[in-house]
């Protein structure tokens, strides 16, 4: 059965690194980074832009999920609200795919440190902390990346994908 793996998490928590590694390790996989659907300057989350982002993501995900080449479809993005995540799942869900929802989280101090090192501005850091608080409450499997290296985060995700987690 095809696996649709959603990796959610705030900016700076390690989604891109983990998904890049997953995409290398999982044969017959494809990775869609939600950010690729939002390369807009300036980025302004209007209702029209948000709808376009969701529509673009859904279009690509449906194509990936319906393509027999892929056993794994990896999708990463910052879902600051569970209703956005649920909307995308509802639009692409079919009986031929197992959906695995994972959220990467870390301590607030570690998140601030990572974002400062990456050169993120204070506004983005504050927004990331707010998103992380909301993500902690979502109905997803959580992986705490505070003390994990990128490879270790990918290993934890692979355990979940293979059903070997506590």
Taking CA atoms, 144 is separated from 15, 73, 93, 116, 162, in Å, by 12, 22, 27, 19, 18
- On whether residue 153 sits in a domain, the answer given is yes
pLDDT of residue 80: 86
pLDDT of residue 61: 95
pLDDT of residue 150: 83
Taking CA atoms, 69 is separated from 28, 66, 88, 98, in Å, by 6, 9, 22, 16
Contacts of 70 (CB under 8 A, 6+ apart): 2, 28, 29, 30, 64
pLDDT of residue 46: 85
Domain of 102, in residue numbers: 2-161
pTM for this predicted structure: 0.92
How many domains are contained in the chain? 1
pLDDT of residue 54: 87
pLDDT of residue 45: 77
- On whether residue 124 sits in a domain, the answer given is yes
pLDDT of residue 153: 94
pLDDT of residue 52: 87
- On whether residue 93 sits in a domain, the answer given is yes
Residues of the chain scoring pLDDT < 50: none
CATH number at residue 42: 3.40.50.300
pLDDT of residue 165: 59
């Amino acid at each position: 059965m095809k696996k649709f793996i959603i990796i959610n998490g705030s900016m700076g928590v390690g989604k891109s690194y983990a998904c890049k590694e997953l995409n290398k390790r999982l044969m017959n996989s494809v990775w869609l980074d939600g950010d690729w659907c939002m390369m807009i300057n300036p980025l302004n989350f209007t209702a029209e832009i948000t709808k376009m982002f969701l529509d673009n993501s859904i279009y690509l995900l449906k194509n990936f999920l319906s393509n027999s080449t892929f056993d794994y479809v990896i999708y990463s993005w910052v879902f600051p609200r569970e209703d956005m995540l649920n909307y995308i799942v509802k639009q692409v869900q079919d009986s031929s795919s197992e959906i695995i929802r994972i959220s990467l989280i870390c301590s607030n101090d570690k998140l601030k440190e990572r974002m400062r090192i990456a050169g993120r501005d204070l506004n983005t850091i504050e927004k990331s902390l707010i998103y992380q608080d909301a993500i902690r409450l979502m109905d997803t499997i959580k992986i705490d990346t505070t003390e994990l290296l990128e490879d270790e985060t990918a290993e934890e995700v692979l355990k979940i994908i293979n059903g070997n987690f506590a």
